[in-house]
Structure 1
Amino acid sequence: MALLPQILLHSPTKLFFLNPRTTITTTTTTTSSSSISSLSKTLTPSRKPNLFRCSASSFPEKHHTSGLPSQPDDTIELPLFPLPLVLFPGAILPLQIFEFRYRMMMHTLIQTDLRFGIIYMDSSTGTADVGCVGEVIKHERLVDDRFFLICKGQERFRVMNLVRTKPYLVAKVTWLEDKPGGEGGEDLEVLANDVETYMKDVIRLSNRLNGKPEKETQDLRRNMFPTPFSFFVGSTFEGAPREQQALLELEDSATRLKREKETLRNTLNYLTAASAVKDVFPSS
């Protein structure tokens, strides 16, 4: 699986990072049966520690709801795990579960359905209404009852209302799907190809600025359709969870790709200017 080098992404007001270890596959990830910790070293983002330590103690239990009425025929109950990160469909996320209530949740999931909702939450914006299902594709229970997990993003969902908050959050959710096309009739293939081109240019210039060989970037789409590709691009915007959450919530693939294209175009302009400065002042 191709990996992206870590590079800065620039918008008019923010700097983002491409996550060097974000991958998307069309089938369930398979690994050897060695230790899951060695697997996590391969899949985890570049920052340390390698695994997110999953404790929601720092977050309030109260969840703001969208105010939409419950629709029993269209909703299911889903355990929720609020975290300061955004999971996208198809993305791989390593987790360490050590807080007691979430260890309880894991024991239940192992006996029933290995899926739970990961939803973004921070102290300033509160809990989001849109999240992504994480399916446990690999897990290891330690002697102290902690768990190491490898999760893969599946369907997106919107929280309709909370069912309970103890011992962990459970909510009624409804599934989200992207609209088939953009409002202006945009060609999704053209937009996806444009985004891929900008990503390749950004990676090339970033390598140049970092003194790395300017190798030709491999195929980033890997035969992905535009919608899963738009999720892949969003998952690479490391260090900007609010922007990632905004991308996750969009229900139009064309709008998501256009927003990502604009961010990458701004990044390319920024890196082009930085490269020109470096050419004039090589020692700076």
Structure 2
Amino acid sequence: MALLQLIPSHSSSSLTHQPLINPKAANPSLLNPKLKPFSKSSSRSQSRRFHRLNSLQCSASSFPEKHHSNPPKPDDVAELPLFPLPLVLFPGAILPLQIFEFRYRIMMHTLLHTDLRFGVIYSDAVSGTADVGCVGEIVKHERLVDDRFFLICKGQERFRVTNIVRTKPYLVAEVNWLEDRPSGDEDLEGLANEVESYMKDVIRLSNRLNGKPEKEAQDLRRNLFPTPFSFFVGSTFEGAPREQQALLELEDTAARLKREKETLRNTLNYLSAASAVKDVFPSS
């Protein structure tokens, strides 16, 4: 899903510009040489080799209400290898990665003989490394002859780093698991429906401004409960990782949906104005 432009209006947000919300426009490998997502620039042989890996797509159906039959409890403490990246992984989202740096190849060798799970945690040169991240579980992998790895990972539980166990050859930390608190008397279903409605309008206007058919967006929730739906919505804001990180760290589904609603409403207002200008000045 490609939304045109995110217009956050939260004073607490660390964003200082108006980034594109377009997975294809965001290229994390430019910020961090440890990461090379799958891209059209990959060789044809690699594209053929990993065609079956790329068959997994990030969609609403990737966001189940429960990810495990026995999910960890918030009070549980665990050790988790960490992979700092200039992106934010949400529960249920699909993340393709190419691993080629030596220390992370070591990590992959270990993971492939254990539980296939590691922590993806947002990091950039400005804000540093976050304390809250999301577990990435390897669901498909391919090891090449030069010892690089291609992975398809799926977001699972959120966690908060409580203690760094070691830093070499890669980061390992003690973490606590995060779950959303009860939202009290909030109408979560109503909020989720409002957010979905704004998303549909944003997609429609985005298509219009980009010269695409203004086809009505289909059911975006796909019977998702409000909490996984809020994670799905956050995952579509891919051009704004710091805003995504703020959404990931919230421990209240209602608060997350309200923030997403406000962001989408501001974006819709921007798109409506741009559409009106285009109607008056088509050549512009």
- TM (normalized to structure 2)? 0.80
Q: Residues 141-194 of structure 1, C-alpha deviation per residue, up to 9 Å, x if partnerless? A: 000111000000000000000111111110000100001215xx2200000000
Give distance in 2, aligned partners of 1:206 and 1:115.
Answer: 36
Percent identical among aligned pairs is 79
Give, as a single letter, the amino acid of the residue that structure 2 aligns with 1:37: F
Give, as a single letter, the amino acid of the residue that structure 2 aligns with 1:93: L
Give distance in 1, aligned partners of 2:94 and 2:22.
Answer: 12
Q: Return the offset for 1:103.
A: 0.7
Contact 2:2 2:236 in 1 (8 A): no
Give distance in 2, aligned partners of 1:20 and 1:95.
Answer: 14
Q: Work out which of the residue numbers 125, 137, 140 in structure 1 matches 2:139.
A: 137
Trace 1:88-167 onto structure 2 (pairs within 5 A).
88-167=90-169
Give, as a single letter, the amino acid of the residue that structure 1 aligns with 2:195: V
Q: How many residues align?
A: 240
Aligned to 2:51: 38
Aligned to 1:255: 255
Q: Work out which of the residue numbers 4, 8, 12 in structure 2 matches 1:11.
A: 8
Q: Residues 83-131 of structure 1, C-alpha deviation per residue, up to 9 Å, x if partnerless? A: 1110000000000111111111111111111000000011111110000
Give distance in 1, aligned partners of 2:246 and 2:199.
Answer: 20
Give distance in 1, aligned partners of 2:277 and 2:140.
Answer: 47
Trace 1:177-196 onto structure 2 (pairs within 5 A).
177-182=179-184, 185-196=185-196
Contact 2:91 2:154 in 1 (8 A): yes
Q: Return the offset for 1:223.
A: 0.7
Contact 2:2 2:21 in 1 (8 A): yes
**Which structure's relative contact order is higher, taking Cα pairs within 8 Å and 6+ residues apart?**
2
Give distance in 1, aligned partners of 2:269 and 2:219.
Answer: 22
Q: Return the offset for 1:199.
A: 0.3
Contact 1:87 1:93 in 2 (8 A): yes
Aligned to 1:223: 223
Gapped regions of structure 2 (runs ≥ 5): 10-15, 25-46, 59-74
Contact 1:43 1:94 in 2 (8 A): no
Aligned to 1:48: none
Contact 1:19 1:235 in 2 (8 A): no
SS of equivalent to 2:20? strand
SS of equivalent to 1:148? strand
Trace 1:199-238 onto structure 2 (pairs within 5 A).
199-238=199-238
Change (3 A) 1:228 1:11: same
Give distance in 2, aligned partners of 1:42 and 1:265.
Answer: 32
Give distance in 1, aligned partners of 2:242 and 2:22.
Answer: 15
SS of equivalent to 1:5? coil
Q: Return the offset for 1:42.
A: 5.2
Aligned-residue CA RMSD (Å):
1.9
- TM (normalized to structure 1)? 0.80
Is 1:274–2:274 an aligned residue pair?
Answer: yes
Give distance in 2, aligned partners of 1:15 and 1:43.
Answer: 29
Give distance in 2, aligned partners of 1:114 and 1:229.
Answer: 25
Contact 2:77 2:174 in 1 (8 A): yes
Give, as a single letter, the amino acid of the residue that structure 2 aligns with 1:109: L
Change (3 A) 1:247 1:36: farther
SS of equivalent to 2:200? helix
Give distance in 2, aligned partners of 1:257 and 1:171.
Answer: 30
